[in-house]
Amino acid sequence: MKGLRSRQSVLRVLDLCAAPGGKTTDLAASLREACGDGFTLVANEVMKARVGVLDDNVARWGDPNVVVTSVDPAAFARLEGWFDIIVADVPCSGEGMFRKDPRARAEWSPELVELCAARQRRILADVWPALRQGGFLLYSTCTYEQAENDDNLAWAARELGGEILPPAAEFEDSGVRRTAHGHLLEAGVVPGEGQWAGVLRKTASQRVAAKADLSLLHPLRQGLRKGERKGKDFLPDPDYALSMEFDRKDYPEVAVDHPTALRYLHRDALVLPQAAPGYNVITYLGHPLGFVKNIGSRCNNLLPKGRRILMNV
């Protein structure tokens, strides 16, 4: 990580196909452990139907260094040479999902493999300008097809300008198999579903945009949001209570038991005699869950509608 940050104080990472967000939050945890506050992680999801789930999961994670965008990979070309690492877990023919997803089995065909391989090359070519010279592309799929895996990484090295990092043998004891240019995780051999991953270091020269700015991508989420003023009132942002930078002196807290916590997450109105007038933060086992507004006879639940749990509680 230190070598990657030699030209700047902040490590810049792009999770290109990020929904639903498990990869993003894992990356955020690893980056914070390695870099402290010295990183920016951009989590992008081009599919509008999926980006809301990504945004919610990033909000729940609470790391203000994670930025959420929803743009086509080609849009990142405007940030020339800006990223040190790009993680591209690209759409694929889905063979690694056959065990758990009957639809993936039903939709598979040789033509789909061909279509996916071409789409993957387009995605890599579109985002490549955003990676700095010497930066790393982590390329992965959830298929076993050579055309979508080794062949595409070799294509990127040859056509875009990169050096493939040879797969390591150290993972073989856990069932991970080396292929020509990467690592294959086969469902039934390793825990979980199927996946392939390889790494490419960019050797092609790359101009760095002097005034590159994430605002070009119109982020859906960027930085810490405490709230907004409306008239004489300051309305807290629902995500502020979940942020790791939440100042617990800003609002009174109400500790609740397990049934009440579930009712809050179900977005029920609550009666909390111990709550102070106005905005309060609900906590469970010391962890903030979100805001309520005590209006006297009850507390209005300010959990965003899209995040409420649907189970009956």
Query: How far is CA 258 from each of CA 65, 273, 285, 290, 308, rounded to the nearest angstrom?
Result: 31, 17, 9, 15, 16
Which residue in this structure is represented by tokens 């109105």?
Answer: 269
Phi, psi (degrees; rounded to nearest 5) at 47: -80, 115
Q: What pLDDT score was predicted for residue 210?
A: 53
Residues 97-112 have a mean pLDDT of 94
Kindly tell me the sign of the dihedral angle through the C-alpha atoms of 93, 27, 124, 175. negative
| CA angle (290, 241, 70) in 5-degree steps | 95
Is 50 exceeded by the pLDDT of residue 6? no
142 is catalytic: yes
Which tens digits make up the pLDDT trace of 225-277? 999 998 888 999 999 999 999 999 999 999 999 999 999 999 999 999 999 99
| Residue pair 181/154 in contact by the 8 Å Cβ criterion | yes
Token pair, residue 258, equals 């397990």
| Residue pair 313/259 in contact by the 8 Å Cβ criterion | yes
Query: How far is CA 88 from each of CA 37, 215, 300, rounded to the nearest angstrom?
Result: 23, 21, 41
**Range with the poorest average pLDDT among 121-125, 189-193, 243-247, 248-252:** 189-193
Least Cα distance to 264 among 198, 227, 313, 194 occurs for 313
Which tens digits make up the pLDDT trace of 41-95? 999 999 999 999 999 999 999 999 999 999 999 999 999 999 999 999 999 999 9
Q: Please, which pLDDT band fits residue 3 given cuts at 50, 70 and 90?
A: low
Torsion of the alpha carbons at 23, 29, 35 and 41, rounded to the nearest 10: 40
* CA 257 – CA 283 distance, rounded (Å): 9
| Claim: this prediction has a pTM higher than 0.85 | yes
Domains plus CATH for the chain?
3-217 (3.40.50.150), 227-307 (3.10.450.720)
* 153, amino acid identity: L
Q: Is the peptide bond before 20 cis (omega within 30 degrees of 0)?
A: yes
Catalytic residue among 17, 35, 116, 142: 142
Cβ atoms within 10 Å, residue 61: 18
| CA angle (212, 217, 223) in 5-degree steps | 85
Query: For 187, which DSSP code?
Result: B
- Which residues, in sequence order, are CB contacts of 44 under 8 Å at separation 6+? 14, 15, 16, 17, 18, 68, 69, 70, 71, 73, 76, 217
Which residue in this structure is represented by tokens 């469970």?
Answer: 284
CA 113 to chain centre: 26
Q: Please, which pLDDT band fits residue 171 given cuts at 50, 70 and 90?
A: confident
| Residue pair 301/270 in contact by the 8 Å Cβ criterion | yes
| Residue pair 75/42 in contact by the 8 Å Cβ criterion | no
- Which residues, in sequence order, are CB contacts of 206 under 8 Å at separation 6+? 80, 81, 129, 131, 132, 133
